[in-house]
Amino acid sequence: MPDAPPHIEPFTITDEHLNTGLRGFPVGTLRTSDVDPMTGVSYVGYPIADLVDLPCEDSIYLLFHKQLPTPEQARAFNADLAKRATVSSDVLAILDKLPRSGHPMEWLIVGLELLGMTGKTKSNDYREDALNLVARTSTLVAAIFRVKQGWGAPIAPRTDLTFHENFAQMLGAPGAHAQLSDLLRVFYLLHQDHEGGNLSTFTGKAVASGNADIYASMAAAMAALYGPRHGRANQECLEFVKQMGSGDANELRERVLKHVKGGGLVPGFGHPVLRAEDPRAKIQYAYGAKHFGDHPLVKTAIALREVVPPILKEHSRTKDPYPNVDAASGSLLSAAGLANPEFYTLLFGWSRVSGISAQIVDERLVMRDGKGVPIYRPRYIAENQPARRR
């Protein structure tokens, strides 16, 4: 094997490593985020807890520029993003003709391709297209909310509002809580990026490695996120909270114990990398207690935080019995007025577009001294040719 970078231990690939989904295989370097098993996610070296009070634009700038903006840079960047947010009327007209039975993520996948067909740069400029995509995804996602749920016609973006305020006003959610706009800001910041090997991010980068434009690459990434083993966990978490249906710790303990002993999984608890409570979960629990403490779903979610880990430690084999980012997010969104869990993965996608876009830009324009990462081509070994196996 070629010499590995000094921070990567060389290892021999054996039969046991095959057909394991590339789990744990180092395949590249990353400039946007990191996930430490004990301290959780950080963006460009900043722990997520240090960023959660920022406007979304500052965090987007950080992922793309690898530093936080000065006040002057922030004003210019905010104005630039706002100017990019307008979506072709052709896109909105086609959305109105999509089958209402489709999942919101299916609408998003179609919508991203439409954004590409109506607005991509002729030169396939990844950086320019990425910034357009980040801005226009807010307009697209808000339109999907409104059209699919019958809330009314799409609402045009405004240039006098911040990123999250503009998204909230384009949603125009009936009966929304006054805290919804700020909750969407927090949700966006917590979900933007999560290393480079998660399924949706890796899929988007792999498609872009064939020089597909960023819109097609992002549609592929969102198709990966759509899967129930990836992005739909927040939806399942809310359903579990409703199933448990109590803020009383003793009642919850009995119900969770019965559920686990019966072979049931507890969505929102455990993580493939983390070995401590997800800092993003901590942030959401604190936010929920402060702004939605009397809401029954939030009460239940907060109580589960205390009840579930001891039960999982004793009655399951999980290495991480602690809450992750999905444990409370659905309960908070429901308390704020977005009560349809079918749309929660759509919000996940809305947030993650900026992180995946920044990673695609890095892989296409920055890595290998600007030559970019080659087209992805892992090797598969034919089972009927064992003599070739090494």
**Mean pLDDT, residues 246-255 taken together:** 89
Least confident of 9-18, 270-279, 318-327, 371-380: 9-18
Q: What is the pLDDT of residues 293-321, one digit of tens each?
A: 999 999 999 999 999 999 999 999 888 99
Per-chain mean pLDDT for the chain: 94
User: What pLDDT score does 246 carry?
Assistant: 77
Least confident of 2-11, 94-103, 165-174, 185-194: 2-11
Question: 260: which 2 tokens?
Answer: 């686990």
Domain residue limits, the chain: 41-230+343-365, 233-335
Q: Is the pLDDT of residue 3 over 50?
A: no
Give the Cα separation of 378 and 362 in Å (integer).
20
User: What pLDDT score does 1 carry?
Assistant: 41
Catalytic residue among 164, 271, 291, 295: 271
User: What pLDDT score does 383 carry?
Assistant: 86
Residues shown for the chain: 390
Which option is the CATH number for 41-230+343-365: 3.30.450.40, 1.10.580.10, 3.60.21.70, 1.20.120.160? Answer: 1.10.580.10
User: What pLDDT score does 384 carry?
Assistant: 77
Give the Cα separation of 200 and 355 in Å (integer).
11
**Mean pLDDT, residues 34-53 taken together:** 97
Output the CA–CA distances (angstroms, integers) from residue 346 to 141, 289, 291, 314, in the order listed.
7, 25, 23, 35
Counting residues of the chain whose pLDDT is more than 90, the rounded percentage is 88
Q: Is the pLDDT of residue 4 over 80?
A: no
Fold identical between 41-230+343-365 and 233-335? Answer: no
For 233-335, which CATH superfamily applies? Answer: Cytochrome P450-Terp, domain 2 (1.10.230.10)
Q: What is the pLDDT of residues 46-56, one digit of tens each?
A: 999 999 999 99
User: What pLDDT score does 23 carry?
Assistant: 87
| CA nearest neighbour of 197 among 14, 373, 21, 326 | 21
| CA nearest neighbour of 59 among 69, 73, 49, 70 | 69
Catalytic residue among 58, 320, 326, 362: 326
Q: What's the whole-model pTM score?
A: 0.94
Catalytic residue among 103, 182, 230, 259: 230
Counting residues of the chain whose pLDDT is more than 70, the rounded percentage is 96
Give the Cα separation of 126 and 296 in Å (integer).
45
Contact 358, 33 (CB under 8 A): no
259 burial (CB, 10 Å; 0-12 / 13-18 / 19+) is middle
Q: What is the pLDDT of residues 218-247, one digit of tens each?
A: 999 999 999 988 998 889 999 999 999 877
Q: Is the pLDDT of residue 107 over 70?
A: yes
User: What pLDDT score does 387 carry?
Assistant: 53
Backbone CA torsion sign across 325, 100, 148, 240: negative
Question: 357: which 2 tokens?
Answer: 């876009």
User: What pLDDT score does 191 carry?
Assistant: 98
Assess whether 271 carries a catalytic annotation.
yes
Q: What is the pLDDT of residues 338-368, one digit of tens each?
A: 999 999 999 999 999 999 999 999 999 999 9
Assess whether 230 carries a catalytic annotation.
yes
Q: Give residue 8's pLDDT band: very low, low, confident or very high (50, 70, 90).
A: low
